[in-house]
Chains A and B, each alone.
Chain A
Amino acid sequence: MVTIAMVTGFILILMGLYGALTNPNILRMIVSFSIANTGVNIVLVAIGYIQGRTAPILDEAVPVAEAAARIIDPTPQALVLTAIVIGLGVTTLMLTYAYKLYEMKGTLNIAKFSELKW
């Protein structure tokens, strides 16, 4: 279970990085970064999972007294919630800059932006 989630996450990270490094189109690079970001989040959540336990919410199935023995680690979940929100902010900023770049050059091909190239 953990292995499947972690393998999926690692594959998504590699796929996203491959797309970001080989695509010449800026929009496709942004999509690739989002995919890699999702992969990182999946790996982080998978690390908090403990075999045979349930979500960190107390109810009839998880009484307060037994909480420590019945729930999975809540810390990575809180961390990933933060990471998702920040990831969304980063994606929005990338899209905005992509729009400004398009406005400037009329193209989204990264090869045409040669000002910082050496």
Chain B
Amino acid sequence: MIKRALVLLFLFALGTLFVELLLTYTPDTQLNQTGRYYAEHSAQDLGTVNITTAIIVTYRGLDTLGEVTVLFLTAAIVGVLLSRGDHKGKSLQRKLPQSGELLTTGSYLLVPLILLLGAYVFINGHLTPGGGFQGGAIIASAILLMLLTDPLRHFSHSIIAAVESISGLFFIGLGVLGIFYAGGFLDNRLLPLGELGSLFSAGVIPIIYSFIGLKVGAEFSSMLVNLSETEDT
């Protein structure tokens, strides 16, 4: 009882703080200096139409590298914590009810379409809302659908690991090439900027974002596969 009262007291204090924040908040009417710089320069300097993508892949590309590293660490820790010495033989022993006809047939139709949508989203990350992280999540959702249809399906861990490592290597490799042939680490002007708004534009941004998409998709998939292969003891 006392515990609940303390919780409510704490939340009341926090709520008062939020109300205070809300009442004194005045929305901006102009972009601040950073936002203005990004708005004015990303089209000319980097050739991207989607300014958020320009920030994520090039202006703050190092942060994105860190973010991808955090995701990789998460996937690795999940793999280490849930790994069993001999779960290959064990995971096949579970008896499960048949998944329904609708789910099975629906997944045959939907999985290729979802994969296609994921690839579309990360290849067009510099033109439309979307990008590597969103596309990767969409690709992982196709894997999730396949796992729902057949929970015993075995996904090759080595293929997932290979996709992840290769795309990670290319991401960093393109960044390092930028040091020698362009303005700096992760500079996108390695390739010509092209015409603003076309698919082959914005230098290496679509290539880097595609590799990020593949990497994120592989990481999410490995988390899903690891979580689904655990056994009730």
Q: Contacts A67-B43, A68-B36, A85-B67; is A56 near B81 (CB within 8 Å)?
A: no
Task: Report the minimum CB–CB distance from B189 to chain A (whole Å).
Answer: 18
Question: Bound state CA distance, A3 and B70, in angstroms?
Answer: 33
Main secondary structure of the interface of A (DSSP, over half): helix
Residues of chain B lying within 8 A (CB to CB) of residue A78:
52, 55-56, 60
How far apart sit A96 and B133, CA to CA, in the bound complex (Å)? 22
B28 contacts A10, C-beta separation under 8 Å: no
**Chain A residues in 8 Å Cβ range of B99:** none
Q: Is the CB of A57 within 8 A of B51?
A: yes
Interface residues on chain B, size class: 35 or more
Task: Give the interface SS of chain B, mostly helix, strand, loop or mixed.
Answer: helix
- Min CB distance, B51 to chain A, in Å? 4
Given A21-B7, A49-B27, does the pair A56, B51 have CB atoms closer than 8 Å?
Answer: yes
Q: Are A59 and B7 touching (Cβ within 8 A)?
A: no
Binds A, one of B71-79, B159-167, B171-179: B71-79
Tell me the total A-B contact number using a CB cutoff of 8 A: 130
Chain B 67-111 interface mask (CB, 8 Å, partner A; 1/0): 100110110011001100000000000000000000000000000
Bound-state CA distance A100–B7 (Å) is: 28
Given A14-B14, A58-B49, A99-B82; A85-B133 close (CB under 8 Å): yes
Contact A96 B77 (CB under 8 A): yes
Contact with A along B187-219 (1 / 0, CB 8 A): 000000000110000000000000000001000
The chain B residue sitting closest to A86, CB to CB, is B70
Least distance between A30 CB and chain B CB atoms (Å): 13
**Are the C-beta atoms of A2 and B49 separated by less than 8 Å?**
no
Q: How far is the CB of B229 from chain A (nearest CB, A)?
A: 12
Partner of B71, one of A75, A77, A89, A100: A89
A67 touches B4 (CB 8 A): no
- Please tell me which one of the listed residues A21, A59, A92 contacts residue B74 in the complex, with CB atoms under 8 A apart: A92
Chain B residues with Cβ below 8 Å from A73 are: 28, 31-32, 35
- Taking a contact as CB atoms closer than 8 A, the residue among A3, A71, A85 that contacts B39 in the complex is A71
- Ordered by A's residue number, 12 sampled pairs between the chains whose C-beta atoms are within 8 Å are A2-B27, A14-B14, A22-B3, A56-B50, A57-B50, A68-B36, A71-B31, A75-B34, A75-B38, A78-B60, A88-B220, A92-B78
> Hey, which bits of chain A sit against chain B, CB under 8 A?
2-3, 6-7, 10, 13-14, 17-18, 21-22, 48-51, 55-59, 64, 67-68, 71, 73-75, 77-78, 81-82, 84-86, 88-90, 92-93, 95-97, 99-100, 103
